Amino acid sequence: MLSFFIILPILYLAGNVYIFWRGRQALKSQSTGVKVLLSIIFWGGALSFFCSFLFRNLDMPASFAQTVSQVGTGWLVFTLYMVLALLVFDLLRLFHLRCKYSFYLSLFLTLSSLGYGYYNYQHPDTRVINMVINKPADIDEQPLKVVAISDIHLGYATNKAMLAEYVRKINAQRPDIVLIGGDLIDNSVVPLRHEHMEEELSKIYAPLGVYMVPGNHEYISGIEDSEKFIARTPIVLLRDSTVILPNQIQLVGRDDRHNKGRKILAQLTANLDKSKPVILLDHQPYDLEKTEKAGVDLQFSGHTHRGQVWPMSWIVDHMFELSYGMKKIGNSMIYVSSGLSLWGPPFRIGTDSEMVVFNITFKE
């Protein structure tokens, strides 16, 4: 993990130097004043990526903080797509296929992709899954409607206004229960307290309650601060604990892998009645074969975002046994969500944001 945080800034800076060099070539006929102005704008955008992390715990005006966050993290994807486009044109030059306006075409293609990605991110999907659990539950009206979300990443990027829209979408489903698979908070609780986001979270309504588990970002934000904020809402935080709902469904919430002392899954389910339904929340989808052995009927996870943008989605698909969607292992169904919102760059390219609705029917 440490090597990742060293390699990424090096590659990022190298990519921006490459874009800057190619841009200087394209703008060689422009006046010195224009070159200086564009250079300042370019490096201001590039360096704002680092500012978005350095400023994360500062109490700043929400509009300014959101601008720094979205420009800074958005520049990461801008860099990726510009470098890929420019490299394609440079490779074509090796085959004596030259394009006089390669820089401008690269810029156009990149900005068009980002425009599409931003629109796609702002319009999350609602994925409805009808499933059967062959165990009894004390439910008057079937199916049980479960709204499951993950990776909301509330903060300077996903602000209170966006949260209000998410809450509206959740409540519009009229869920029996709401499950949050971790990473409710992004990098700090400061913007959540500043905007009083607990007011919107308190509007989520489900008769059987709202439950969540920590994700890695609750630990990045400070797990104690995260717990204190969540305690100001009706959300029940499960950390290596189990809740038996009035309908006899057993809900298991596993702490995140950041807690090196967390219990193993077999410990959490050892004393459960395996003849009754068992639903597991576990933020990071690892060791999926242990889910079936623990007697879990449905596991809901997040974390992967499915890479958020292409070609990162390809990489993430190879990093995880299941990076997105549903998989059946024995008698267990495992669902990994791509997330309702996202971390960092406000783009979805080749992936989708989503809210998942499980309509669960129980049988003897």
| Same domain, yes or no: 206 and 353 | yes
| 200 plus 54 within the same structural domain | no
Task: Supply the CATH number for residue 290's domain.
Answer: 3.60.21.10
Pairing of strands 332-336, 325-329: antiparallel
115 and 139 both lie in a single domain:
no
Judge if 230 and 358 occupy the same domain: yes
Residues 70 and 152 in one domain: no
Domain end among 70, 91, 121: 121
In this predicted structure, what is the pLDDT of residue 357? 98
- C-alpha atoms less than 13 angstroms from C-alpha of 149 in its C-beta half-sphere: 30
Q: Which residues contact 302 (CB under 8 A, 6 or more apart)?
A: 150, 151, 181, 182, 183, 215, 283, 336, 337, 338, 339
Per the structure, the complete domain to which residue 238 belongs is given by 125-362
Taking the alpha carbons at both ends of the chain, their separation in whole angstroms is 46
Specify the 3-state DSSP secondary structure of 299.
Answer: strand
pLDDT in the model for residue 300 = 98
Q: What does each of the 364 residues of the chain score in pLDDT, given as a tens digit?
A: 555 668 888 999 999 999 999 999 998 888 999 999 999 999 998 988 887 776 666 666 767 777 777 888 899 999 999 999 999 999 998 888 888 889 999 999 999 999 999 999 999 999 999 999 999 999 888 899 999 999 999 998 899 999 999 999 999 999 999 999 999 999 899 999 999 999 999 999 999 999 999 999 999 999 999 999 999 999 999 999 999 999 999 999 999 999 999 999 999 999 999 999 999 999 999 999 999 999 999 999 999 999 999 999 999 999 999 999 999 999 999 999 999 999 989 999 999 999 999 999 998 7
Residue 90's CB: how many other CB atoms inside 10 A? Answer: 12
Both 54 and 142 in one domain: the answer is no
- Whether the Cβ atoms of residue 199 and residue 234 lie closer than 8 Å to each other: no
> Cα(348)–Cα(339) distance, rounded to whole angstroms?
11
Are both 65 and 100 inside the same structural domain? yes
- Our measurement of the distance from residue 162's CA atom to the centroid of its chain's CA atoms, rounded to an integer in Å, reads 14
Q: Give the three-class secondary structure for 140.
A: coil
Per-residue confidence (pLDDT) for residue 7, from 0 to 100 = 85
Sign of the dihedral defined by the CA atoms of residues 62, 68, 69, 70, in that order: positive
Identify the domain boundary among 70, 97, 121.
121
Contact 136, 362 (CB under 8 A): yes
| pLDDT for the residue numbered 3 | 59
Q: What is the pLDDT of residue 57?
A: 62
**115 and 132 together in one domain:** no
What is the distance between the alpha carbons of residues 316 and 17, in angstroms, rounded to a whole number? 27
How many domains, the chain?
Answer: 2
159 vs 146: CA distance, rounded Å: 25
Q: Let me know whether 279 and 142 are in one domain.
A: yes
Closest CA to 157 of 324, 341, 295, 27: 341
Residues 257 and 129 in one domain: yes
Q: Is the pTM of this model over 0.85?
A: yes
**The domain boundary residue, chosen from 91, 121, 151:** 121
| Spatial CA neighbour of 154 closest among 138, 165, 139 | 165
pLDDT of residue 30: 87
Q: How far is CA 67 from each of CA 45, 73, 159, 278, 346, rounded to the nearest angstrom? A: 11, 10, 11, 43, 11
User: Quick one: 39 and 103 in the same domain?
Assistant: yes
| Kind plus residue range of the DSSP H or E element containing 243 | strand 241-244
Assess whether 152 and 286 both reside in one domain. yes
